[in-house]
Amino acid sequence: MDAHFAPAGPPAGDLRAPPDKSISHRAALLGAFGEGDTRISRYLDSADTRSTLAAVESLGAGVTAQPDGPGSLEVVVTGFGLRGAAAPGRPIDVGNAGTLIRLLTGLLAGQEGRSFVLDGDASIRSRPMGRIAEPLRQMGASVETADRGVPPLAISGRRLRAIHYELPVASAQVKSCLLLAGLLADGRTTVREPAETRDHSERMLRAAGADVRIERERPSLPTDPVAGTIGISPAAAIALPAMTVPGDLSSAAFHLVAGLIVPGGDVRLTGVGINPTRVGLLGILNRMGADLEVVEAGSEGGEPVGTLRARGCDLQATQVGAADVAMAIDELPLVGLLGCFADGTTTVTGAAELRHKESDRIAGVVDALNALGGEARALSDGFAVTGTGGLRGGEMDSRGDHRLAMLGAVAGLASREGVTVRGFGAARVSYPGFESDLRSLLG
């Protein structure tokens, strides 16, 4: 599905941010491996998160889902217990959901005496799984990949032993996979991350009754990443209480950027999750001189939420390094788009992880911006974008990547001639209502 986005005046108005994808995945998984019923309000209704519901149902969880407003579901998951997953007898299809395949592998690795296969679409079959398979094998797990270390994954549940593992690259998905496996291991499992990553798993595991402890290290310089070690003890059982999923900052960010780069823009997003480990983009925007307001407004699902307001303004280039990357990994493509409208050259480094997302996002961002009249070049671990006063427009390829598809839509509103996004349907992976929400801001 292709879509065209033309300049149509400044975006303005209020939107409620769609539910958080990362938290929705985790809530369904912990509910399924927990005891009793878990009620999840404002569960994201998207292709990725429906894959998670289907996966836990195939393992024996009870799942009911009813509409809960635009783009969200009221979900009740009846758990089968921490060690009670049933072998479905057929591959579990994770679709395009990288979070699902990595986190679920950690939980299935300790289901003794049962075997599972996890598979997905063409994008999933290109994503590296050695980063979870290797440490899980150190724990005694049997996890086999296809050639080149990619899915499908064949998992034979075994008794696991605790390990201490140092992540070579900061990754919330790998960290979470090992912590979830640690629930089923003999002894206390510890994971050291070289930079702080999103802590939704830790928060939710604690809420479910798990013994999780975090020790942060003091960085040598204020600009250095904050490393830390997270430990988890084995549990006999967990039970996630009822929760409401907060709004997704990563999805809200597209509307915020539209408000900033289109002259006269004035966009307000409500109910946005502003977990301190997810707000890297907001710090980057402040360094660029963005006209941005953040007002905290309580909490949802154990996460702080707030209202964000972005208005059209002049921007200055900035340098984004390793200290920023872990807390802004999903928003970095938008930093490239912002760079086209900023004065100077914006660089992103320390972000080699972008090459292993739904697509090679370094190549995808650079190719898209250049196709639309920008001036961008790829670096080994990021990209550099020189501001040209805006974008001409044209055609770009989403590469089947939801974040590149939505980037193209925002670029179209701010361009001179409009943008046609090839493969725009990829946006459904994380934000099915994105196009209608974006167009609602155009009056």
Give the tens place of pLDDT for each residue, 212-242: 999 999 988 887 889 999 999 999 999 999 9
Q: So what's the pLDDT on residue 324?
A: 92
- Higher pLDDT: 70 or 337? It is 337
What whole-number distance in Å separates Cα of residue 257 and Cα of residue 240?
35
- pLDDT per residue as tens digits for the range 33-45: 999 999 999 999 9
b/e string for 47-84 if b means 16 or more Cβ within 10 A?
bbbbbbbbbbbbbbbebebeebeebbbbbbbbbbbbbb
Residue pair 138/88 in contact (Cβ under 8 Å)? The answer is no
- pLDDT per residue as tens digits for the range 258-294: 999 999 999 999 999 999 999 999 999 999 999 999 9
Beta strand 382-386 with 375-379 is antiparallel
Across residues 193-207, what is the average pLDDT?
97
pLDDT at 32 over 80: yes
Q: So what's the pLDDT on residue 289?
A: 98
Q: So what's the pLDDT on residue 4?
A: 98
- pTM for this entry: 0.94
pLDDT at 357 over 90: no
Kindly state the percentage of the chain with pLDDT values over 70. Answer: 100
Q: Is 420 exposed, middle or buried (0-12, 13-18, 19+ CB in 10 A)?
A: middle
Across residues 12-37, what is the average pLDDT?
98
pLDDT at 244 over 90: yes
Catalytic residues: 330
Distances, alpha carbon 300 to alpha carbons 36, 229, 306, in Å: 22, 26, 10
What whole-number distance in Å separates Cα of residue 382 and Cα of residue 297?
34
Q: So what's the pLDDT on residue 222?
A: 81
pLDDT at 323 over 90: no
- Higher pLDDT: 299 or 157? It is 157
Which run of H or E residues covers position 222?
Answer: none
Across residues 130-151, what is the average pLDDT?
97
Across residues 352-369, what is the average pLDDT?
94
Q: So what's the pLDDT on residue 138?
A: 99
Kindly state the percentage of the chain with pLDDT values over 90. Answer: 94
Q: So what's the pLDDT on residue 393?
A: 98
Of residues 235, 128, 228, the one with CA closest to residue 181 = 235
pLDDT at 356 over 80: yes
- pLDDT per residue as tens digits for the range 377-427: 999 999 999 999 999 999 999 999 999 999 999 999 999 999 999 999 999
Across residues 93-98, what is the average pLDDT?
96
- pLDDT per residue as tens digits for the range 71-80: 999 999 999 9
SS (H, E, C) 63-84: EEEEECCCCEEEEEEECCCCCC
Across residues 365-380, what is the average pLDDT?
98
Confidence of residue 188 (pLDDT cuts 50, 70, 90): very high
Q: So what's the pLDDT on residue 1?
A: 86
174 contact partners, CB below 8 Å, separation of at least 6: 102, 131, 132, 135, 167
DSSP annotation string for 80-142 = --TT-PPP-SS-EE-TT-HHHHHHHHHHHTT-TT-EEEEE--TTGGGS--HHHHHHHHHTT-E
pLDDT at 320 over 90: yes
Q: Which domains does the chain have, with CATH numbers?
A: 3-19+246-440 (3.65.10.10), 21-244 (3.65.10.10)
Across residues 136-157, what is the average pLDDT?
97
pLDDT at 443 over 80: no
Q: So what's the pLDDT on residue 35?
A: 98
